[in-house]
Amino acid sequence: MRESKIIAELKNGLKELLPIPGLHIVIESDRTKKSDAVARVDYRELSFELIIEVVSSGSLAILNSKINRLKAITVNDRQVPVLVAPHLSSKRQALCRKNSIYFIDLSGNVYLSYRSFYIEKVGFQNIFPEKRQRRSPFSDKASLILRELLISGQHRWGIREIAHKIDLDPGYVSRMAKALENRKYVSRIDGKLKIRSADEILDDWVRAYELRNNELHRFFCMATNAHEILNRLRELQTPSDIKYGLSVQAGASLVAPHAFYKEVHIYVEDKRGIEFFRNEMELKDSAKGANLILMLPYYRHSVFYDSREIDGLKVVSDLQLYLDLYGYPVRGREQAEHLYRKRIKDVIESAEDYE
């Protein structure tokens, strides 16, 4: 939704969003051009101004930039800094509160305070879900750009250079680079790309990602526990043209062990891989009680990027492990956070743009 449309929706919905008798609000453009809009508020004996910044994107990097802007341009005690958005999740609401920024979203969540005036309404679900973007940075091929930027530290990439590295068309990379700039995920320095908001990228990515988008094939493997399944996998003479990679808890157990697990998840490139493991490991189809899940990847081009061999087994990258674990219901978030602390945090911090 465009910023102008959000302001128009705010004006039209003020009575429902702020159902307070005697409250009078006039929203207009900011003549100083410092903010997206201002609102004159009169309530009983109080008169004050709302300094408004509009968030039209779900990008956490953009939200943080808007918060910082509000903190910089709110200069006196009659001005109240307010973020306006179609919807703010509870996590983003908490970020606003932490920075002493108030908010109104078009889905019904409101937090405003000025002296004796106070209104707080929260818990409303998003009634303006974001449409799938044509140039989502988290789509399969596009994610290759972020994957490389996130692991390459302070390196600055030319368009053709990174296109060659990740084997994508330079024209496509150039178009995606503009989308990344718009989300404030990257900056350009002397025409070269540099990661800008690594932590915010991860936060946005896990919100956009669904493990269930993969095609899951559930099997039962004759084994007493998950570790025995891994040992059987090691013993296989897997042909070089059968591409696979461990993920979720089994994959994490090889790089940053933390949580007990009963299921082994393995990405395979295609149905030939499914048939190979089904036959070689004597797997039985199992809708219930499965202990081995073979996954045909939703990220067909990027899921194996930066994968590696550990202790005789192939494992997807730390980033892919983090994405798969974060929404996994059985201690997945806990394991993802452990993986972040042990393996990802230092890489992310080395990639941050402090310039």
Who contacts 58 (Cβ-Cβ below 8 Å, separation ≥6)? 130, 204, 207
Query: Residue 73: which pLDDT band, with cuts at 50, 70 and 90?
Result: very high
Q: Which of 53, 209, 224 is nearest to 139 (CA)?
A: 209
**What number of other Cβ atoms are within 10 A of residue 90's Cβ?**
10
Confidence label for 311 from pLDDT (cuts 50, 70 and 90): very high
Tell whether the model's pLDDT for residue 318 goes beyond 70. yes
CA-derived radius of gyration, the chain: 24
- For 29-52, what is the mean pLDDT? 94
| Nearest of 175, 184, 297, 285 to residue 248 by alpha carbon | 297
- The pLDDT-based confidence of 355 (bands split at 50, 70, 90) is very low
Once rounded to an integer, what is the mean pLDDT over residues 305-325? Answer: 97
| Per-residue pLDDT, 288 | 87
269 torsion bin: left (phi>0), alpha (psi -120 to 50), beta (else): alpha
What is the pLDDT confidence band of residue 2, given thresholds at 50, 70 and 90?
A: confident
How do residues 123-151 score in pLDDT, each as one tens digit? 999 998 765 555 789 999 999 999 999 99
% of the chain at pLDDT higher than 90: 86
Task: Please give the pLDDT value at position 287.
Answer: 83
Q: Specify the pLDDT at position 132.
A: 52
pLDDT of residue 352: 66
Query: Given a cut of 80, is residue 91 above it in pLDDT?
Result: yes
DSSP letter string, 105-132: ETTS-EEEEETTEEEEE--PPPSSPPPP
Burial of 318 (0-12, 13-18, 19+ CB in 10 A): buried
* Residue 181: φ, ψ to 5°: -65, -40
Measured distance CA(138)–CA(136) in Å, rounded: 5
* Residue-level pLDDT at 354: 44
Which amino acid belongs to residue 51? I
Q: What is the pLDDT of residue 57?
A: 83
Residues 265-281 have pLDDT tens digits of 999 999 999 999 999 99
More confident residue, 154 or 144: 144
Full 3-state SS string of 335-351: HHHHHHHHHHHHHHHHH
The per-residue pLDDT for range 163-203, each reduced to its tens digit, is: 999 999 999 999 999 999 999 999 998 999 999 889 899 99
308: confidence class by pLDDT, cuts 50, 70, 90: very high
